[in-house]
Amino acid sequence: MVGKKLAVVGTGYVGLVAGACFAKMGHDVICVDIDAERIVMLQRGGIPIYEPGLETLVHEGVAAGRLTFSTKIADAAPCDAAFIAVGTPPRKTDGEADLSFVYECARELAAVLKPGAVIVDKSTVPVGTGDAVERIVRKTRPGITIHVASNPEFLREGSAIGDFMEPDRIVIGCNDKASEDTLSAIYAPLQAKGYRLIKTKRRSAELIKYAANAFLATKITFINEMADLCEAVDADIADVALGMGTDSRIGPQFLQAGPGYGGSCFPKDTLALVRTSQEFGVHLRIVEETVAANSARKRRMALKVRHIMHGKVEGKKISVLGLTFKADTDDMRDSPSIPLIELLQRAGADVHAYDPEGIEQAKKILKDVTYHLDPYQCSQGADAVVIMTDWESIRHIDLAMLSSVMRSHLLIDLRRVYPPEEAAKYGFTVETIGRTGLEPHPIAQFEPQFMSPDINAFTRKAEEEFA
């Protein structure tokens, strides 16, 4: 295989992982970012994000001379394809994806790329963004053919490299043969290993990413609601998930009940999909309810903790173990720990928190928290421990030691890390998700607000109840 010359613009989770993996596949890659500090750090061998295996892969790519970094989009000029992997954060005003970075990037790439090159959207962008990018390209370089394609990325944080190099599928959305050929050649090493390449039209590819994320978010929300029901009817969600998930039509993944989904994708993408559907006059009822239910659920976790503590959290020391939205990442975006801690603080709790990687990010969001790099120190004299993320270090906590440092032995395990019977041996009272604990939680009797036009109504109600 002859490696292609590729540019990846944006060195976040998607861009940096894609760049390093493309280099590993034998391509010649330049990663571009406007953040000069980040680029200098990368050039010096530093890695700006925490992602298992990434550091080694980046260093390998650099050592092989196939991976370089730059702040200048002009350096992408000789490339066969330039991947846009910049952020598409939700606009504060309406939740729609903010595409200004994507468009700016497209404009700059169009100005420098050679004729016949392909601009590939890897950022998660609403349907029709490829068309808008194409218009920008035509306006910037009239008379020159630069193709525009879509290649959504399905990697998960924490297992990003495995997801990229051993994907369930690769989706390329192309409206012309040239970009289809270029993208097929780029992914040829993975196809040669048997990984499936799905070719679609550009708009279908754009929608596939949103549809997949919305479906997974719905699956999680479904199991979370079943968990609420389990708590009320004395069933166990782990058994229900096992019994459901072994049906091959359902599948076992993403049936882990917890405090609600967070992260950089599900919350943002579900909201953006709802906005797109509204714009096109199509009602995505299930996705709307998923957004509402998850948003309310995250806030409800604080109410659950308060309820378990018999309504008394004022002046109590609560030790929160795990801050990031999931394990193996330092990402705090939309983490369920944020509303939990903010609401507990509002109710007067003294919150201490432990996380192995997320503290630096957490400090930017959560104030007045005492942070610890040691879970036992964090729980010293605590009235309750709340498990929010299932980090390995939290899974392997020495329960005897934890119990010995706490004031009262209340373990609120919102990730179902510990079998309650096991923890009970160390004197813990364990409250968890999806299994009967104390009295059914009063907030579970929320009025259903089907098709609420205001998708945050649930959330506000939860907050009012908390005051």
CB of 222 to ligand UDX, least distance (A): 10
Task: Tokens for 354, please give them.
Answer: 């432990």
User: Residue 292 is which amino acid?
Assistant: A
DSSP code of 2?
Answer: P
Q: Cα(335)–Cα(320) distance, rounded to whole angstroms?
A: 13
Show the site string, 326-345: x = touches ligand UDX by CB under 6 A, - = not.
Answer: x-------------------
Cβ proximity to ligand UDX, 173 vs 263, nearer residue: 263
Residue 164 binds ligand UDX (CB under 6 A): no
Candidates 15, 19, 262, 375: give the one binding ligand UDX (CB under 6 A): 262
Part of the chain binding ligand UDX (CB under 6 A), chosen from 34-42, 113-121, 155-163, 303-311:
155-163
CB of 298 to ligand UDX, least distance (A): 10
Candidates 210, 266, 391, 428: give the one binding ligand UDX (CB under 6 A): 266
Q: Which of 216, 218, 244, 217 is nearest to 230 (CA)?
A: 244
Q: Cα(86)–Cα(364) distance, rounded to whole angstroms?
A: 21
How many Å from the N-terminal Cα to the C-terminal Cα in the chain?
63
Cβ proximity to ligand UDX, 137 vs 329, nearer residue: 329
Cβ proximity to ligand UDX, 157 vs 206, nearer residue: 157
Q: Cα(264)–Cα(257) distance, rounded to whole angstroms?
A: 19
CB of 211 to ligand UDX, least distance (A): 12
Q: Cα(74)–Cα(107) distance, rounded to whole angstroms?
A: 12
Residue 263 binds ligand UDX (CB under 6 A): yes
Candidates 258, 322, 339, 358: give the one binding ligand UDX (CB under 6 A): 258
The catalytically annotated residue of 79, 105, 265, 378 is 265
Contact 221, 298 (CB under 8 A): no
Cβ proximity to ligand UDX, 24 vs 219, nearer residue: 219
Cβ proximity to ligand UDX, 146 vs 255, nearer residue: 255
Q: Cα(306)–Cα(390) distance, rounded to whole angstroms?
A: 21
List Cα–Cα distances, 399 to 37, 276, 364, 417, 430, in angstroms.
42, 48, 31, 12, 12
Provide DSSP, 76-103: GTT-SEEEE----PBPTTT--B--HHHH
Q: Cα(428)–Cα(406) distance, rounded to whole angstroms?
A: 10
Residue 434 binds ligand UDX (CB under 6 A): no
Residue 157 binds ligand UDX (CB under 6 A): yes
Region class of 334: left (phi > 0), else alpha (psi between -120 and 50), else beta: left
**Would you call 160 helix, strand, or coil by DSSP?**
helix
CA 393 to chain centre: 21
Strand partners, 118: 81, 147
CB of 157 to ligand UDX, least distance (A): 4
Q: Cα(279)–Cα(294) distance, rounded to whole angstroms?
A: 23
Q: Cα(209)–Cα(130) distance, rounded to whole angstroms?
A: 14
Residue 322 binds ligand UDX (CB under 6 A): no
DSSP code of 326?
Answer: S
Residue 358 binds ligand UDX (CB under 6 A): no
- Give the number of other Cβ atoms within 10 Å of residue 219's Cβ: 18
Residue 323 binds ligand UDX (CB under 6 A): no
CB of 13 to ligand UDX, least distance (A): 8
Cβ proximity to ligand UDX, 14 vs 137, nearer residue: 14
Part of the chain binding ligand UDX (CB under 6 A), chosen from 15-23, 24-32, 68-76, 255-263:
255-263
Helix (H) or strand (E) holding 29: strand 28-32
Candidates 85, 227, 265, 382: give the one binding ligand UDX (CB under 6 A): 265
Part of the chain binding ligand UDX (CB under 6 A), chosen from 48-56, 192-200, 213-221, 312-320:
213-221
Determine the size of the site formed for ligand UDX (CB under 6 A).
19
List Cα–Cα distances, 10 to 34, 97, 137, 280, 370, in angstroms.
8, 16, 19, 30, 33
Residue 156 binds ligand UDX (CB under 6 A): yes
Cβ proximity to ligand UDX, 366 vs 406, nearer residue: 366
Verify whether residue 265 is a known catalytic residue.
yes
Residue 155 binds ligand UDX (CB under 6 A): yes
Residue 220 binds ligand UDX (CB under 6 A): yes
CB of 234 to ligand UDX, least distance (A): 22
Candidates 164, 187, 210, 325: give the one binding ligand UDX (CB under 6 A): 325
Residue 228 binds ligand UDX (CB under 6 A): no
Q: Cα(356)–Cα(376) distance, rounded to whole angstroms?
A: 13
Q: Dihedral through CA 181, CA 193, CA 200, CA 31, nearest 10?
A: -70
- Give the interface with ligand UDX as residue ranges (CB under 6 A): 153-157, 213, 216, 220, 254-256, 258, 261-263, 265-266, 325-326
The residues assigned a catalytic role are 265
